Structure 1
Amino acid sequence: MKSITIKGSERESVGKKASKALRNAGKVPCVLYGGDKPLHFTADELSFKEIVYTPNAHTAVIDLGGKKLNAVLQDIQFHPVTDKILHVDFYQLFSDKLVTMNIPVNLVGNSPGVRNGGRLLWRKRKLAIKALPDNLPDFFNVDISTLKIGGYITVASLLNDDFTILHPDSTLVVQVKSARNAVLIDEDEEEGAEGAEAAEGAEAAEASTEAKE
């Protein structure tokens, strides 16, 4: 999984007054949990652009003046009016400790059910998993190129030995439901119909040529 580096500095003082002064200076108060004790630090608000304002999942490298710590974003607080970042919590990663993270789901291909008028319902855009840091995937690629009307894909088809998906196997990820004007056509029948139409067209053209002669 891709990591985003966030450069910061350890905080000498904590509390509401100190935090307010930091925010006024364009800094964000942060806390890193998971180690021997919580580590308080600050970072520029712009440093969080790639890890917060993105649909992708990333880990973080907290760079505190030479001391680098691997972490994941755990919680973030925004101002209710301005949407400015007020506070960020991270959780430190260790190579031998499992971590829980939400992984985005990407849909790949074009569904024949949708082409026939069905309605695509994307039930899960992210899936929570538990894994060792080195086994965290960037995303789930879900192939919908064979998904017909009435078809669906569940978590069961995404199981992997490298991680545990924290949803029941029967959880729907994506499905194609019938719409009012949907055409229920089997793909094999559709191909057969296209072949028959092509053959009829060829016969008609041949008959027209013979008539002209």
Structure 2
Amino acid sequence: MSETRYELKVQDRTENGKQAMKKLRADGWVPVIFYSHGSEVVQLKMAYPDVREAIRSGERIFNIHIAGEQRRAVIKELQYHPVTEKVLHIDLHGVRLRDVVEIEVPLVIKGVPFGVKNEGGVLQHTIHELTVRCKGSDVPEHIELDVTGLRIGDAIHIRDIKSDVWTILEQGDVLLAIVQQQQKMEVETVETEESEFGLDEEEVSGEEKDDE
């Protein structure tokens, strides 16, 4: 995890209600609710460009200033518009560095497998994030998966990834990466209509003569 955390640019929010939220979004703001330990709930807002920048940062734990006090928070939920995919609402949860958190982190593939470079194989991987449990101070920026040693038929599962400070919550037998032999395209010979029906040129010519 980086020592300098990304700071969310939030402002206090007094607007409430459906119509007020609609106008808030039309003015370029995204409603934010900050939940912390106990029953603390703080209503905030962020400018939409700042929201996009924060998401693209790849950070998982953010600094946030509330009432002049610096806090730390994770994005617990993002609500998107079903058509435009713009962010409509953000839920933030306050965390302390000693707290145990469960959080999704990116899975990053490193290297080119031996089986791809030298054996004509292809690398298959479909999972791009994993959920980890750890202290707030130990949240990784990403989990790196080194695939350089994989030959054709070799695979990496979640159980193969070890750490002393965090635990992956998905099942250990989940496949993360595998090198497979490339599938060869089979060219099928298309039979001609004549061979399919057992007709040859002489038979066709004979039929034409009979018709005459």
TM-score range, shorter-chain basis? 0.7 to 0.9
Matched, 1:134 2:143: no
Answering whether residue 178 of structure 2 is matched by residue 175 of structure 1, we say yes
How far apart, in 2, do the equivalents of 1:175 and 1:91 lie?
36
Inter-partner Cα distance in structure 2 for 1:168 and 1:62: 33
TM-score normalized with structure 2 length? 0.78
Higher helix proportion (structure 1 or 2): 1
Unpaired runs of 5+ in structure 2? 185-212
Identity %: 27
Distance 1:41 1:173 in 2: 38
Task: Decide whether the 8 Å contact of 2:114 with 2:151 is kept in 1.
Answer: yes
Distance 2:34 2:26 in 1: 22
Task: Determine which of 100, 111, 114 is the counterpart of 2:113.
Answer: 111
- 1:94 paired with 2:96, answer yes
- Counterpart code for 1:120: L
Mapped contact 1:7–1:65 kept (Cα < 8 A): no
- Identify unmatched segments of 5+ residues in structure 1: 182-213
Count residues in correspondence: 180
Larger-gyration structure (1/2)? 2
Deviation at 1:34, TM superposition (A): 3.0
**2:43 is aligned with 1:33:** no
- Identify which of 115, 122, 126 aligns with 1:123: 126
Between the aligned partners of 2:22 and 2:174, the Cα distance in structure 1 is: 43
The residue aligned with 2:158 is 155
One of 44, 47, 51 as aligned partner of 2:50:
47
Task: Kindly report the root-mean-square deviation, in angstroms, between the aligned alpha carbons of the 2 structures.
Answer: 1.8
Give the TM-score normalised by the residue count of structure 1: 0.77
Q: For each residue in 1:71-100, what CA deviation from the matched residue of structure 2 results, as whole angstroms up to 9, or x when unmatched?
A: 111111122233322111111111222111
